[in-house]
Amino acid sequence: MDSEAVASFYNERVNDKTERRTSRILRMRNFNNWVKAVLIQLHTRPNYSVLDLACGKGGDLLKWDSAGVTLYVGCDIARVSLEQAIERYQNMRKVKFDAMFLHGDCFSARVERYLSDEAMFDVVSSQFAIHYAFENEKRVRRLLENVSSRLKPGGFFIGTTPDANVLIRKLRAVEGLEFGNSIFNMAFDGPDKYFPRDKSPWGIRYRFTLDENVMDTPEFLVHFPTFQKIAAEYDLELRLLMNFHQFYLEFIKVPEFLEIYERLKVVGQHGITYDEWDAIFLYTAFVFQKRGGSPDPGLDRSDIEPIEKPEETLIHEMEDEDD
């Protein structure tokens, strides 16, 4: 199963900070972090609670802390990544939120079964992950069930994912079923790259390599019109769908987001390379809002006090479900 291959890949990755600082795609990584930071700041208020589906190593924990959340639940299929996320959480100083971590496939397990009855969330986030659900309709519906079942009315489901429109446009511009540049490569399963209208939107697989970060990993094309249509069945309405290039042009004009961009040193000394900018073009940002209410106004930031973290943060195991 492809999800097992993905879990194995992320479990085997080494958490090497020195390697990250010298990475050829450092500026792209910083740009992606900027996009996520903007999405979080736009849709989060102090005292919010967040469910982070496919949280990985907890790379967004500081972003959530900066936004003033008071409850964080992270879920991921790779246990090693969760252990690193917990280490990152325990090493944070003056943290203001409680954290809980769930190990399992959030596109197969029912997350709500592992939460308290009163646990509801203002924001659900899934960054660079929903394409793994598009293996089949069942997995996409489980994802949306996990989002909607505990998302407050008026709350937001935010995320990032490969932009299928860009991927197919690039695929059709080349001979064969493979394209890329010096830092990324995409190889689609054949043989038909024109995807007729009567073709199923599920299970359109490609293998993706991104420098040293992602190595020949199976992913699935996200047919967003289908995703939007099914999301509506779960009371989720699309509010934003924007390619990363457009996202940059829209939000770099906002002073506070420009300040984050500069603080993250996205451009660096030599600027973003053409190949990095081309790889950035592969992604899109999205925001859904749950029907039936308005976002909670939150609290004043000064009202959010640091908490006393427990000495040990446990990982709770989830089980895949067939129904």
Is residue 220 a part of any domain in this protein?
A: no
Distances (CA, A) of 120 to 8, 173, 175, 204, 284: 31, 45, 49, 34, 27
Q: Is the pLDDT of residue 223 over 50?
A: yes
Question: Taking 70 as the threshold, does the pLDDT of residue 36 lie above it?
Answer: yes
**Residue showing tokens 């900027």:** 34
At 1-23, the pLDDT tens digits run 455 555 554 555 555 554 455 57
- Confidence label for 240 from pLDDT (cuts 50, 70 and 90): very high
Please list, in sequence order, all residues whose beta carbon lies within 8 angstroms of the beta carbon of residue 258, skipping any fewer than 6 positions away: 252
Question: Is residue 235 annotated as involved in ligand binding?
Answer: no
76 appears as a binding residue in the annotation: yes
* CATH number of the domain residue 91 falls in: 3.40.50.150
Q: Which residue has the higher pLDDT, 56 or 265?
A: 56
Could you tell me which of 125, 102, 98 has the C-alpha nearest to residue 115?
102
**109-113, 150-154, 209-213, 276-280: which has the minimum mean pLDDT?**
209-213
Residue 21 domain-assigned (yes or no): no
Quote the CA–CA distance of 24 and 183 in Å, as a whole number.
8
Residue 280 lies in a domain: yes
Residue 26 has pLDDT above 50, yes or no: yes
Work out the mean pLDDT of the chain and round it to a whole number: 91
Alpha carbon distance 300, 68 (integer Å): 9
Q: Is residue 73 part of a domain?
A: yes
Q: Tell me: is residue 32 an annotated ligand-binding position.
A: yes
Residue 132 annotated as lining a ligand binding site: yes
Q: Does residue 321 register a pLDDT over 90?
A: no
Say if 80 falls within a structural domain.
yes
pLDDT on residue 269: 60
**Residue 11 domain-assigned (yes or no):** no
**Average pLDDT for 30-43:** 98
| pLDDT at 8 (0 to 100) | 53
pLDDT in tens, 162-193: 999 999 999 999 999 999 999 999 999 977 77
Q: What is the average pLDDT across 30-42?
A: 98
Range of the domain at 288: 28-163+235-317
How buried is 131 (Cβ within 10 angstroms: 0-12 exposed, 13-18 middle, 19+ buried)? middle
Instruction: Lowest mean pLDDT of 10-19, 49-58, 88-97, 154-163, name the range.
Output: 10-19
Q: Would you say 56 and 78 are in contact if contact means Cβ atoms under 8 Å apart?
A: yes
* Res. 30: pLDDT tops 50: yes
Of 195 and 88, more confident: 88
Write out pLDDT tens, residues 257-289: 999 999 998 986 667 899 999 999 999 999 999
Percent of the chain with pLDDT over 90: 79
Note whether residue 56 is domain-resident: yes
* pLDDT tens digits, one per residue of 122-133: 999 999 999 999
What dihedral angle (degrees, nearest 10) is formed by the CA atoms of 281, 283, 289, 290? 160
Give the chain as a 3 state SS string.
Answer: CHHHHHHHHHHHCCCCHHHHHCCCCHHHHHHHHHHHHHHHHHHCCCCCEEEEECCCCCCCHHHHHHHCCCEEEEEECCHHHHHHHHHHHHHCCCCCCEEEEEECCCCCCCHHHHCCCCCCEEEEEEECCHHHHHHCHHHHHHHHHHHHHCEEEEEEEEEEEECHHHHHHHHHCCCCCEEECCCEEEEECCCCCCCCCCCCCCCCEEEEEECCCEEEEEEECCCHHHHHHHHHHCCEEEEEEEEHHHHHHHHCCCHHHHHHHHHCCCCCCCCCCHHHHHHHCCEEEEEEEECCCCCCCCCCHHHCCCCCCCCCCCEEECCCCCC
Taking CA atoms, 57 is separated from 15, 72, 186, 223, in Å, by 9, 14, 24, 27
Within-domain flag for 214: no
**Annotated binding residue 173:** no
pLDDT at 310: 86
The pLDDT score that the predictor gives to residue 3 is 53
Q: What pLDDT, on the 0 to 100 scale, is given for residue 101?
A: 98
231 or 192: which leads in pLDDT: 231
* Total count of domains within the chain: 1
